[in-house]
Amino acid sequence: MGFTKPGFTLIKRAIAGGLLSAAMVNAISSERKEQEVRMYVEINLEQLIQEQEERIGIQYPAQRPVIHYHLPADKSGNFGLYDRKTNEIFLQNDRYELPDWDVETVYDTINHELAHYYLDKLSEKRTNTNWPEYNDRTMLEKLGIKLISEGTATYIERKMNGKEDTFTDAKWPKALGGFFSSWELIPKDEIVYSGGFHLVKPIIDRYGEKGIEYLLFNPPKGQEMFNLPLYQQRILEELSRP
């Protein structure tokens, strides 16, 4: 442990005049929060990485990711994202004003996006390719890779915030449609994050970095998407061989 929540420093601003529009107040509030988030991340980044390394048994590269405190304009719906091509992390900005925003959101988001950075760098180290890569894959294979990618990032995030596994094998979809939200071909968050976490957890619990690496290069095959407990069993068995 030893992780301290930040005492956010308010940045003083001289505001002339008494009347401010709501939009102006929001803009100021958003900018102030962005500064707070930046300060929080800059102060705590090294400690977060070290704690992840200790708790999960992984090793980050010496090089640290570049972190931006604005999302690209076309990605504004996210809390954060990682660009595997440029190795950059982006944190949210237009969500700072939401009433449920707090430092826990930043803590979870930075841990999650750091995990994506770690996975990409691990792949770059081993095979000199970015990860995940979805080109030339079937729909089911893409889903499988996404489960490993988001499941492992969620694993690392939850190792840090202590959130438990509430997903059960009974919740796995029995058909392709079950993986997607009804009106768009967007995979369901519950399946991708909570399900992915549930899928990789016993493997990483037991094998740490070795397990992560094995999952990275052995995602579920297309047909295994309809029997993920069996896939999990297969991976555990293959890793147990001397």
Residues lying near Zn ion in the complex (CB under 5 A): 150, 153
Cβ nearer to Zn ion, comparing 153 with 156: 153
The CB-of-157 to Zn ion minimum distance in angstroms stands at 8
The CB-of-153 to Zn ion minimum distance in angstroms stands at 4
Cβ nearer to Zn ion, comparing 118 with 207: 118
Alpha-carbon distance of 51 to 156, in angstroms, equals: 10
Cβ nearer to Zn ion, comparing 67 with 153: 153
Exposure of 68 by Cβ count < 10 A (0-12 exposed, 13-18 middle, 19+ buried)? Answer: middle
The CB-of-197 to Zn ion minimum distance in angstroms stands at 11
Cβ nearer to Zn ion, comparing 155 with 172: 155
How large is the C-alpha radius of gyration of the chain? 20
Cβ nearer to Zn ion, comparing 197 with 231: 197
The CB-of-116 to Zn ion minimum distance in angstroms stands at 6
Q: Helices 139-161 and 196-217 meet at what angle, rounded to 10? A: 110
Integer angstrom CA distances of residue 73 from 41, 94, 145: 21, 10, 26
**Cα angle vertex 161, ends 157, 166, to 5°?**
80
The CB-of-146 to Zn ion minimum distance in angstroms stands at 9
Longest Cα–Cα distance of the chain, Å, equals 73
Alpha-carbon distance of 44 to 153, in angstroms, equals: 19
